[in-house]
Amino acid sequence: MAVSTDDLDIFPLTAAPQGASVGSAQAPALARPRIGAWVREASAPLQRRATASARQALRAVGTAALGLVLPALLFALWWTAAERHWIAEQILPPPAFVWESLLSVLETGELLEHVRVSASRVASSLAIGGSAGLLLGLGMGLSRSFKAYVFPSFDVLAQLPVLGWIPLLIIFVGIEEPLKVSAVSIAVVVPVALSTLQGIANIPAALLEVGQVYRFSHWQTLRRIVLPAATPALFTGLRQGVMQAWLSVVFVELLSSSDGLGFLMAYSRSLSQIDMVIVAMLAIGVVGLLIELGLRLIESRLQRWRRNAF
């Protein structure tokens, strides 16, 4: 049977030869141009996504490379100064000597033990200060009367640095572990409370009106409107609190401690072991960077599923 004109609609790009039947071996070959076009059309979005991903990866690599320029220049200057004896080794030890000291304290586990002690103090202080700051911020954000009573005094006390609290804390809690945890907790309370207050203040009035329309209780308003809408500000306050806790714990350990990274720095300085001082500084910076990267990752995951209100 000869192929009719209607049958040729499935092969619009190629004319059927004379006498070819629909069931002949040549029919699939006639459909290949249209199938190839379909494949190209379907794969075009994937190609564009792959190209965009490759460009983003290249930009990320370029940004990271630019960020390494300054550390590389500083290291080169350090190495040159030590190699040419511009500065005495007792003041600025060469990089090789610092590296040997780092490997030594890693092998003995001394450095990791100091990191563990400082991290445990930060965790305890974050639990205490973060909870207090969250409750304080929620109280001031949700109650105008509570804010009128508390915020003026809180605003004044928030201007005091951690160092200003040390003499008073020594009188009440002594110079042992409670001093360190109390001082770091105070450093955490301020950013968490202020960020919580700011996040609640920035909630659109329309969302609160929706809660009134649906006659939400106070608990429903808090759980279904306030907390979801204020989540970015809450997490910002948490990040600031964690970084303040990490910086403050090192500072407090410098003043009064028998362990921790701050103690390692102070003890090494008293023995004129500048290499160990540099090792402690590097450990503080690396741990702080890891904390920051971890918080960024958690925040990015949190933003994917967060809903403004429901």
Tell me what pLDDT residue 32 has: 53
Using the predicted structure, report yes or no on whether residue 284 has a pLDDT greater than 80: yes
pTM over 0.75: no
| Average pLDDT over every residue of 212-223 | 80
Mean pLDDT of the chain: 80
- Residue of 88 and 117 predicted with greater confidence: 117
**Domains of the chain: which residue ranges?**
7-67, 109-305
Tell me what pLDDT residue 33 has: 55
310 confidence band (pLDDT: 50, 70, 90) = very low
Q: In this predicted model, what pLDDT tens digit does every residue of 82-102 receive, in sequence order? A: 888 888 888 888 899 999 999
| Average pLDDT over every residue of 149-174 | 88
Tell me what pLDDT residue 90 has: 81
| Average pLDDT over every residue of 94-111 | 91
Tell me what pLDDT residue 9 has: 44
Using the predicted structure, report yes or no on whether residue 116 has a pLDDT greater than 90: yes
- Residue of 35 and 215 predicted with greater confidence: 215
Tell me what pLDDT residue 56 has: 75
131 confidence band (pLDDT: 50, 70, 90) = very high
| Average pLDDT over every residue of 35-48 | 62
| Average pLDDT over every residue of 60-69 | 77
Using the predicted structure, report yes or no on whether residue 36 has a pLDDT greater than 70: no
**What single string gives the DSSP state of each residue in the chain?**
-PPPTTGGGG-TTSPPPTT--TTSTHHHHHHHHHHHHHHHHHHHHHHHHHHHHHHHHHHHHHHHHHHTHHHHHHHHHHHHHHHTTSS-TTTS--HHHHHHHHHHHHHHTHHHHHHHHHHHHHHHHHHHHHHHHHHHHHHHHH-HHHHHHHHHHHHHHTTS-HHHHHHHHHHHH-SSHHHHHHHHHHHHHHHHHHHHHHHHHTS-HHHHHHHHHTT--HHHHIIIIIHHHHHHHHHHHHHHHHHHHHHHHHHHHHHS-SSSHHHHHHHHHHTT-HHHHHHHHHHHHHHHHHHHHHHHHHHHHHHHH--S--
Using the predicted structure, report yes or no on whether residue 43 has a pLDDT greater than 70: no
Using the predicted structure, report yes or no on whether residue 103 has a pLDDT greater than 90: yes
Q: In this predicted model, what pLDDT tens digit does every residue of 262-279 receive, in sequence order? A: 999 999 988 888 999 999
The answer regarding whether domain 109-305 maps to CATH 3.40.50.1370 reads no
